[in-house]
């Protein structure tokens, strides 16, 4: 038994389960615990939730809902065209096409198990398979389209339970000179930022570079470059190629690996300390909410993110603390937050005059939000965040 539990975030709902009613008859809950596997150097959830419960035709998240992400995907597409000039691109987890729409539809294929999202991209003439990424699907795609020059996957590989099969299917689908780029939240950033809300049902894994390199040892693939991104509160963009492709391995890879080693990413003590920090964060956040409520001030939530479900359920923050959430995603509006049953409404131009505090569910878009809510800030409105530690902005 090399898996060690270091964090218990209590009973949690399906984060995509935005409810139609405040009083649901039943709601699926599971125990959210986080473990470290000393052999694989991998951080993962103790219990995986069946994929069909999370990724289905009711999927709410639309990746194009923030200007920050629209811009980030546009810039990435331009740089891919310049650097690699691929003739065929496959995206695993294509969501609403925010990345693929930057390329000619003749050279791109999407894979997206949430049918409502696959319908969106298919209607944009981007051929999308409404299926989970498996060896079977990769065989089907290769038969029809051959191998690919470029495979991209953002915020998806960390959601797939069987990593061995996932990478084998990528290895088969990638041409010999092909490039695979994966982007997911960075474990070292999660620990440094105390952003324990990166752990929820969908995030089966939170990767370090060390853990990715370890899993690739079972394949003919290897990492040749890495970029640190500020998106989603700190992510890694990892560039992967076939070993037989003699592209140079960037020094950044060795530097980053060393940084993780020095930080102690292979050492259980780092995780146990993180677990203690999260408990402290919980108590401090609750006390901030209690103090504000003592003074009869009004708090709302800003961005009903999937991440925020972990914080709200772990800290027991319900309608007694937060009157409502605002969120720009149409499919969340008129619904209630999973587990905590707080109403979600459409935002106005600016926050309403009677709002005193806004809890940043979408803390990862802090800059974009503070810029948008200048009027609120000017009239004395304040934001509450739990990252990097509970405080009032």
**C-beta of 393: minimal distance to ligand DWN in Å?**
15
Closest to ligand DWN by CB, 102 or 305: 305
Based on CB atoms, which residue is closest to ligand DWN, 160 or 326?
326
Nearer to ligand DWN, 51 or 175 (CB): 51
For 291-323, letters b (16+ CB in 10 Å) and e give ebeeeeeebbbbbbbbbbbbbbbbbebeeebbb
Cβ of residue 326: shortest distance to ligand DWN, in angstroms?
Answer: 6
- Smallest separation, CB 265 to ligand DWN (Å): 21
Cβ closest to ligand DWN, residue 178 vs residue 303: 303
Closest residue to ligand DWN, Cβ-based?
Answer: 303
Least spacing, CB of residue 215 vs ligand DWN, in Å: 19
CB of 104 to ligand DWN, least distance (A): 25
Contact 372, 351 (CB under 8 A): no
Least CB distance to ligand DWN at residue 197 (A)? 8
When the beta carbons of 141 and 160 are compared against ligand DWN, the nearer one is: 160
Please say which residue, 372 or 382, places its beta carbon nearer to ligand DWN.
372
Question: Is the Cβ–Cβ distance between 128 and 109 less than 8 Å?
Answer: yes
Residue with tokens 């009083």, as numbered in its chain: 23
Return residues touching ligand DWN (CB under 6 A).
61, 65-66, 155, 202, 232, 303, 305-307, 326-329, 362, 364-365, 368-369, 372
Least distance to ligand DWN from the beta carbon of 232, Å? 6
CA distance 54 to 36: 23
Shortest Cβ 220–ligand DWN spacing (Å): 28
| Nearest to ligand DWN of 253, 362 (CB atom) | 362
| 180 phi/psi in degrees, rounded to 5 | -115, 130
User: HEC profile for the chain?
Assistant: CCEEEEEEEEEEECCCCCECCCCCCCCCEEEEEEEEECCCCEEEECCCCCHHHHCCCCCCCCHHHCHHHHHHHHHHHHHHHHHCCCCCEEEECCCCCCCHHHCCHHHEEEECCCHHHHHHHHHCCCEEECCCCCHHHHHHHHHHHCCEEEEEEECCHHHCCCHHHHHHHHHHHEEEEEEEEEEEEEHHHHHHHCCHHHCCCCCCEEECHHHHHHHHCCCCEEEEEEEEECHHHCEEEEEEEECCCCCCCCHHHHHHHHHHHHHCCCCHHHHHHHHHHHHHHHHHHHHHHHHHHHCCCCEEEECCCHHHHHHHHHHCCCCCCCCCEECCCHHHCCCECCCCCCEEECCCCCCCCCCCEEEECCHHHHHHHHHHCHHHHHCCCEEEECCCCCEEC
Supply the minimum distance, in Å, between the C-beta of residue 200 and ligand DWN: 7
To the nearest whole angstrom, how small is the minimum distance from the Cβ of residue 312 to ligand DWN? 12
Q: Which is nearer to ligand DWN, 77 or 155 (CB)?
A: 155
Tell me whether residue 94 or residue 305 sits nearer to ligand DWN (CB atom).
Answer: 305
Q: In terms of CB distance, is 224 or 376 closer to ligand DWN?
A: 376
């Amino acid at each position: 038994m090399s898996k060690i539990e270091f964090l218990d975030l209590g009973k949690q709902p399906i984060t995509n389960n935005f409810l139609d009613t405040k009083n649901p008859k039943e709601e699926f809950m599971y125990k959210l615990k986080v473990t470290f596997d000393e052999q694989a150097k991998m951080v993962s959830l103790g219990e995986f939730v069946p994929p069909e419960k999370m990724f289905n035709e009711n999927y709410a998240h639309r990746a194009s809902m923030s200007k920050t992400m629209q811009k980030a995907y546009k810039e990435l597409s331009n740089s891919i065209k310049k650097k690699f000039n691929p003739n065929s691109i496959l995206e695993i987890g294509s969501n609403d096409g925010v990345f693929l729409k930057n390329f000619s539809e003749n050279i791109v294929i999407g894979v997206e198990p949430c049918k409502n999202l696959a319908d969106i991209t298919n209607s944009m003439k981007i051929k999308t398979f409404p299926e989970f990424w498996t060896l079977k699907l990769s065989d089907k795609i290769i038969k029809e389209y051959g191998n690919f020059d470029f495979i991209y996957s953002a915020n998806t590989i960390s959601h797939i339970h069987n990593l061995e099969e996932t990478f084998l299917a990528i290895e088969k689908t990638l041409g010999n000179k092909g490039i695979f780029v994966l982007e997911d939240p960075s474990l070292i950033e999660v620990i440094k930022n105390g952003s324990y809300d990166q752990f929820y049902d969908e995030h089966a894994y939170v990767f370090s570079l060390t853990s990715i390199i370890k899993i690739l040892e079972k394949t003919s693939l290897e990492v040749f470059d890495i970029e640190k991104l500020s998106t989603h509160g700190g992510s890694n963009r990892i560039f992967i190629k076939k070993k037989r492709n003699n592209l140079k391995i960037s020094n950044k890879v060795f530097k980053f690996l060393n940084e993780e080693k020095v930080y102690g990413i292979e050492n259980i003590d780092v995780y146990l300390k993180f677990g203690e920090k999260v408990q402290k964060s919980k108590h401090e956040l609750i006390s901030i909410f209690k103090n504000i409520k003592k003074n009869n001030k009004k708090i709302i939530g800003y961005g009903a993110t999937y991440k925020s479900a972990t914080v709200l359920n772990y800290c027991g923050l319900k309608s007694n603390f937060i009157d409502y959430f605002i969120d720009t995603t149409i499919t969340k509006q008129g619904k209630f937050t999973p587990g905590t049953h707080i109403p979600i409404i459409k935002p106005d131009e600016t926050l309403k005059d009677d709002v005193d505090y806004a809890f940043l569910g979408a803390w990862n878009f802090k800059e974009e939000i503070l810029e948008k809510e200048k009027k609120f800030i000017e009239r004395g409105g304040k934001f509450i965040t739990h990252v990097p530690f509970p405080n009032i902005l």
